[in-house]
Chains A and B, each alone.
Chain A
Amino acid sequence: MDISKNFFELFELVPGFDLNAQQLSERYRELQREYHPDRHAHKGERQQRLAVQATTHLNEAFETLKMPLMRAQYLLKLRGVETGEETRQQLPGDFLMQQMELRESLVEVGESDDPFAELERLEQQARQLETQEYSQFNAALAADDLETAVVAIRKLQFVNKLLHEIEAAEDRLDEEY
């Protein structure tokens, strides 16, 4: 496997935020058929080791392109912009206020009459924000406005974390009921 190829090249996809998900999974399975350790189990140790390395790379590439946030970050990385956890991008005050409010509602979910419905409402709100920011990101990238794209990513990281917390709260509620 040529690991010098970028992930889009590996899957023979046009680089971009919107991608052909079906082609991605089809190509993924094709490459797995070729490189997976099980296809080399009866061969020598060296070939098995190479197979593990190749599929490790393949799995990383697949997950990066499959997950929207990781895909967006990877697109920026290809343009030389790293947006790890440590990005200290200043975010607009109203966005941060909104995040705080959402988080407060999440903490108080347990006291509501119908906590599941309340969680559902919160999740919808977060999903809406998510969609909005992805289209912001997509537009900024197309316009080569990398600064705006980075702001969108930073916001999406917040939203993503919120979605995880909503999910965890749901699991906890499930355990109680």
Chain B
Amino acid sequence: MALLQIAEPGLSLDPHQRKLAVGIDLGTTNSLVASVRNGVAETLADEAGKHILPSVVHYAQDEKPLVGAAAAQRATQDPYNTIQSIKRLMGRSAADALQLGEHLPYEFVESDTAMPYLRTAAGDLSPVQISADILKSLVVRAEASLGGDLEGAVITVPAYFDDAQRQATKDAAQIAGINVLRLLNEPTAAAVAYGLDQQDKGVVAVYDLGGGTFDISILRLTQGVFEVLATGGDSALGGDDFDYALAHWLMEQAGGHSFDASSSRELLRIARHTKEQLTDKPEVEVSLPGSGTQVRITREQFDALCKSLVAKTIRACKRALKDAGVALDEIQDVVMVGGSTRVPLVQSSVGEFFKRDPHIGIDPDRVVAIGAAIQADILAGNKPDSELLLLDVLPLSLGLETMGGLVEKVIHRNTSIPVARAQEFTTYQDGQTAMLVHVLQGERELVDHCRSLARFELRGIPPMAAGAAHIRVTFQVDADGLLNVAAKELSTGVESAIQVKPSYGLSDSEITRMLQESYSNAADDREARSLREQQVEADRLVSALRNAIAEDGELLSEQELKDLNTEIDVLEKLAQGASSAAIEAGVEHLAQVSDFFASRRMDRSIQTALQGQSVDIFDPVSNNRSEEEKG
């Protein structure tokens, strides 16, 4: 009788039915991919055993982009083609990019497109495409490591990312061919990774200071449900800013020595390294590029440079607590996320403000990816009994432009998502037949101070007296925090709806074009892989035959040997070429023409084997045969 199989509760019966899902932390400085294997969430390493993928891409003409540490090594020699911290430009307009890019040594393409493009040796690229290259590299790693195609991924974003930045991230995933199960806020992912859901109840603060973004989230945990009460932060403040401040200070010490793009990069690299050293040492000696000037910096001096930046983060913590309606002493745990929380000043300031020691148990670089992997496993349907549920909020208020350049808020920040809200507007002129709907995000009152997300027109309103038309504008925010807007004139039913595409985001046609390019790249990739495979196959056959000739060359006549050597040379030359089909045909041909040689060797080796054996040990069959031969 067969034994009945009983699976562990929550685990699927058949391991082959488990869907491969990963969590991806697409960071400013570093990116990671993680997955749940055998019930444990872990980050996945590359072939060299490295888990962290530096978010750096190097572009060269007619070559595939190089991603990670190898790309980072080229930052100094080839600064314009080595793109780092691209996350800071995600969802930003060209004008924002120029402003943010003042310390980024990139060459922006001068064009009238709203989206910034960077000039590289591989062509003009948008931040979305560059991010897609990082994502592709992580997917390749995950598929190699998990041994199959991915069902989907949870990709993390800073909680404070606005709609444009979220949409840009989703676009990048689409170009990379990833099915996005959910965009998950980084602090929420971190709280999940800490297994804080294991505890019954409590209020938790997650302080997340990455390379380029800062987030603070206040969450309430109740039996596996993570309810985000409030979130705040600054999507353009991070550890990079500490580097810039330090680099600037070092530049001053150099006394007006001027720096070009290459040595600026070098200076930034030195600043980052110095910052890291100051985590453990009270004082560091720095040698400046170019002049070679030696400068000594103490941790106190460094703290003074960063003080105002850290103070800014603490102000955001205060505001988030207020928004959450939570008193300081209600906070049970403080979780630290992001590499920049290693800076001693950050740890002490956060501890001081919350009056408790923050959790730093899990590697702050990996904690977000691990949390995302746990959520991905659940969303893929691998853990139907899981108690875990994440309830998130809208980080920044959404509104519409009204008369006089003012913003009328339609959905306030920290509203639970998904959410839908409608607001009614009317015409302000007699006979007005069209209305411009301008969607904005932010807390300020003036249009100019908020982020413009989209503009669209509602046309075909029948002419009426001013104030007679009733136009209802509906905002729907989905569980990824992405916005859809629809407008409708109520008396006539005239409708207009759009998926909000940021004013300076990628248009659908741009995405289609990039997708096609990535498909054709995928075709190139396949061709490249098959070429390599055939070359390996050809090499294998060539060297096998050469070895055979060296061993058993006497089995061939002089002419046979000469012909075979010619054929081998032909394939060897063919294998240098770029056509996998030609090499494949060549391999087959050589295998055929060398077949007789293989047979002869086989015969000889059998004879050799037989010679070494006593015939007696052969089984009765051969004895029988000899009987028959006799008979």
Contact = CB atoms under 8 A, between A and B. Distances in A.
Contact of A42 (B223, B380, B417): B380
B420 A56 contact: yes
B478 interface: yes
B530 interface: no
Interface stretch (A3-11, A58-66, A75-83, A127-135): A58-66
A169 interface: no
Interface stretch (B314-322, B428-436, B513-521): B314-322
A32 B225 contact: yes
Contacts of B181: 41
Contact of B389 (A25, A32, A42, A60): A32
A29 interface: yes
Given A29-B225, A52-B479, A167-B322, A59 B315 contact: no
A174 B417 CA distance: 29
A60 B418 contact: no
B175 to A, nearest CB: 22
Contacts of B417: 59
B379 A41 contact: yes
Contacts of A101: none
Given A42-B381, A59-B417, A29 B390 contact: no
Contact of A41 (B225, B381, B415): B381
B418 A56 contact: yes
A32 to B, nearest CB: 6
A6 B479 CA distance: 24
Interface residues of B, number: 28
A175 B315 CA distance: 8
Q: Which of the listed residues A37, A42, A167, A171 has the most CB atoms from chain B within 10 Å of its own CB?
A: A42
Interface centre among A36, A59, A63, A171 (most CB of B within 10 A): A59
> Interface centre among A37, A38, A174, by most B CB within 10 Å?
A38
B378 interface: yes
Nearest to A59: B416
A59 B227 CA distance: 12
A63 B380 contact: no
Interface string A132-168: 0000000000000000000000000000000000010
Interface string B318-351: 1100100000000000000000000000000000
A39 interface: yes
Most B C-beta atoms less than 10 A away, residue of A33, A36, A37, A56:
A56
Given A38-B389, A56-B476, A174-B318, A33 B415 contact: no
Nearest to B421: A60
Nearest to A175: B315
A37 B418 contact: yes
Nearest to B415: A63
Interface string A38-55: 110110000000001001
Contacts of A52: 418, 478-479
Nearest to A36: B389
Contacts of B379: 38, 41-42
A29 B379 CA distance: 18
A39 B389 CA distance: 8
B52 interface: no
Chain A contact surface mostly = helix
A41 B418 contact: no
Contact of A62 (B222, B378, B416): B416
Interface string B469-481: 0000000101100
A151 B416 CA distance: 30
A52 B471 CA distance: 24
A124 to B, nearest CB: 16
A56 B419 contact: yes
A63 B418 CA distance: 12
B366 interface: no
Given A56-B419, A59-B418, A63-B416, A41 B319 contact: no
Contacts of A33: 225, 389
A55 B418 contact: yes
Interface string B400-436: 0000000000000001111110000000000000000
A104 B550 CA distance: 103
A38 B390 contact: yes
A60 B419 contact: yes
Contact of B319 (A29, A56, A62, A171): A171
B391 A36 contact: yes
A52 B112 CA distance: 38
A60 B475 CA distance: 13
B113 to A, nearest CB: 33
B222 A29 contact: yes
B378 A38 contact: yes
A59 B419 contact: yes
Contacts of A56: 418-420, 476
Contacts of A62: 416
A42 to B, nearest CB: 3
Contacts of B389: 29, 32-33, 36, 38-39
A108 B399 CA distance: 29
Contacts of A37: 418, 478-479
A55 B419 CA distance: 8
Contacts of A171: 319
A52 B476 CA distance: 10
10 contacts: A32-B225, A33-B389, A38-B375, A38-B390, A39-B389, A42-B381, A60-B420, A167-B322, A171-B319, A174-B318
Given A36-B389, A38-B390, 11 more contacts: A29-B222, A32-B391, A37-B478, A38-B389, A42-B379, A56-B418, A59-B417, A59-B419, A62-B416, A171-B319, A174-B315
The 7 closest A-B pairs by CB, nearest first: A42-B381, A41-B379, A37-B479, A59-B416, A56-B418, A56-B420, A29-B225
Interface of B: 19, 181-182, 222-223, 225, 227, 315, 318-319, 322, 375, 378-381, 389-391, 415-420, 476, 478-479
